[in-house]
Amino acid sequence: MTDIRGRLCVYNGGLLARGPERRILELAGWDVGTGVPEDGDHVGIWGRSATAWRGEAVAGWRDAPVVSIEDAFLRSVLPGRVRSEVPVGLSIDRTGVHFDGTEPSDLETLLRTSPLDDTQLLNRARAAIEQLKYWHLGKYSGFDPNLPVPDPGYVVVIDQTEGDAALQGAGRDEFAEMLVAAADEHPASDILIKSHPETVAGVRPGLFGSELGIDRARFLTEPVSPWTLFDGAVGVYTHSSTLGFEAIFAGHKPRVFGQPFYAGWGRTLDEVPTPRRGRELTRAQLFAAAMILYPTWYDPASDRLCEIEDVLAILAARARAWREDRAGYVGLGMRRWKRPFFKRAFGTVTPMKFTTSPRSASRKAAKTGRKVIAWGTSEAPKGALRVEDGFLRSRGLGADLVAPLSLSIDAKGNYFDPSTRTQLDDLIAESAHLPLAEIERARRLLARILQEGLTKYNMDEE
């Protein structure tokens, strides 16, 4: 919802700072500042944060409407408390806050009153759900889709962190009751307690203590994909986690012990009814309202507001980079002038190291757990990844020290070597199974390349 404009008075350092959240608000039409609100002004608060009372007090004093701001339901690869990363969207709510089921919100109003029957909108929702599954994305996407999960037949119980505003006063006792319910309803199944990534990172404790009291229950702290995890689950239990929302699109009807925004629409088994809702929605309708109509999405690369399709492409690229690069690399055969852009391309998660000797590269890789990436056809240890310029490289030649705008990295060989099957060969073979949205994206890219007359080096004599 970005149809509102005006002065937004805030009393939160994070919103006042010249950071991404403030930038998103400005692009959405808000004039962000501090001071005393006048007629027509609004007061902005960050959800139910520790500083929200300041804005609420000023709003009550001046009889000014409150705007509640929160992260959107897709945010970043890792939580902001774990790694600083520009968020890709906000929820900007003039009525309430989406996680408080005791009062209405803009999102609830959308879900309750919007027809949600537009064919194009629902097709967009279905395509976006397909992309989330294909790329293994969620609110946070710092997990490895290749990690195995236990054999099917287990129950997933989702932990949350202490201090999570979505708990609305719930604590360890309520989570213990949820665990008991899962055990009673599935007496023959193992129970996996999915830890929150902030808990795994040691940033905030979870609500389950180390002593669970049920032999069949254990913590799942490995960074497995929730999509893979949900595939093998026979039940999902949550209080109010966004992961419970994601479970719906993995085909589950989670049992919900709180009042999150996604409860009460026929897609959950609700322990705490919300009679104010009571409308039956399809998965596509729920997704369309919560993920397309409600959030304000942001493209940090081009500094503009965007649509969910853009955000999915951004997060897919970020997640892929994190998953492939988090172990780090030892660069072999890179000339010194090339090293800065290799660091920018492959060293944002874990800093790169460089060497000119294959033997030294092997030692450094073994010592630090990094992979070796070698330039072109240079001599390299067995198992080294090969890196080359991308197919849209630059305006000018590398021989003239023009830095590349793209690089290709291949774990199997050089893409130009016909004697070796490469990752590029595999990707081409697998492209028949790409989601339709990805095929359309490729068509748009090809049309743009042809329209602009782009080539690898973009030189007049090409």
Over residues 188-209, the pLDDT tens digits come to 999 999 999 999 999 999 999 8
Instruction: Report residue 4's pLDDT band, with 50, 70 and 90 as the boundaries.
Output: low
- Residue 462 reports pLDDT greater than 70: no
**Percent of the chain scoring above 70 in pLDDT:** 98
- Sort 339 into a burial class: Cβ within 10 Å, 0-12 / 13-18 / 19+: middle
Judge whether 303 lies within some domain: no
Judge whether 344 lies within some domain: yes
State mean pLDDT over 57-77: 97
> If you average pLDDT over every residue of the chain, what do you get?
94
Judge whether 315 lies within some domain: no
Amino acid (one-letter) located at 273? P
Q: Are residues 219 and 97 in the same domain?
A: no
Which spans in 186-225 are helix H? 197-200
Q: Are residues 141 and 92 in the same domain?
A: no
Neighbour count for residue 65 (Cβ, 10 Å): 15
Q: Are residues 272 and 420 in the same domain?
A: no
CA 423 to chain centre: 25
Q: Got the DSSP string for 389-400?
A: E-SS--SS-GGG
- Residue 138 reports pLDDT greater than 80: yes
Judge whether 269 lies within some domain: yes
Instruction: Report residue 3's pLDDT band, with 50, 70 and 90 as the boundaries.
Output: low
**Percent of the chain scoring above 90 in pLDDT:** 87
Between CA 326 and CA 405 the distance in angstroms is 21
Q: Which residues have C-beta within 8 Å of that of residue 63, sequence separation ≥ 6?
A: none
Instruction: Name 43's bridge partners.
Output: 9, 66
Q: Are residues 79 and 129 in the same domain?
A: no
Judge whether 306 lies within some domain: no
CA dihedral over 68, 21, 245, 118, signed as positive or negative: positive
Q: Are residues 261 and 179 in the same domain?
A: yes
Query: Would you give the DSSP letter of residue 289?
Result: I
How far CA 283 is from CA of 111, 118, 220, 341, in Å, comes to 12, 14, 27, 43
- Residue 285 reports pLDDT greater than 50: yes
Q: Are residues 271 and 220 in the same domain?
A: yes
Instruction: Report residue 406's pLDDT band, with 50, 70 and 90 as the boundaries.
Output: very high
State mean pLDDT over 272-278: 91
- Residue 378 reports pLDDT greater than 50: yes
C-alpha atoms less than 13 angstroms from C-alpha of 54 in its C-beta half-sphere: 14
Residue 77 is part of which domain span?
Answer: 6-113
pLDDT value for 381: 94
State mean pLDDT over 397-403: 89
State which of 113, 136, 170 marks the end of a domain. Answer: 113
State mean pLDDT over 153-179: 94
State which of 66, 90, 113 marks the end of a domain. Answer: 113
Q: Are residues 191 and 263 in the same domain?
A: yes
pLDDT value for 412: 94
Instruction: Report residue 81's pLDDT band, with 50, 70 and 90 as the boundaries.
Output: confident
- Residue 2 reports pLDDT greater than 50: no
Segment (H or E) for 136: none
State mean pLDDT over 237-263: 98
Q: Are residues 58 and 96 in the same domain?
A: yes
Rama region for 27: left / alpha / beta (φ>0; ψ in -120 to 50; rest): alpha
Residue with tokens 């955000």: 311
Q: Which of 21, 32, 24 is nearest to 2 (CA)?
A: 24
Structure tokens at 228: 């893979």
Judge whether 305 lies within some domain: no
Q: Are residues 90 and 129 in the same domain?
A: no
Judge whether 243 lies within some domain: yes
pLDDT value for 398: 87
Segment (H or E) for 98: none
Judge whether 34 lies within some domain: yes
Q: Are residues 262 and 129 in the same domain?
A: yes
Q: Which of 459, 319, 349, 341 is nearest to 407 (CA)?
A: 341
State which of 113, 134, 157 marks the end of a domain. Answer: 113
Task: Give the total number of structural domains in the chain.
Answer: 3
Rama region for 382: left / alpha / beta (φ>0; ψ in -120 to 50; rest): beta
135: CATH: 3.40.50
Q: Are residues 371 and 249 in the same domain?
A: no
CA 312 to chain centre: 8
Q: Are residues 125 and 88 in the same domain?
A: no
Torsion of CA 131, 82, 291, 96, to 10 degrees: 170
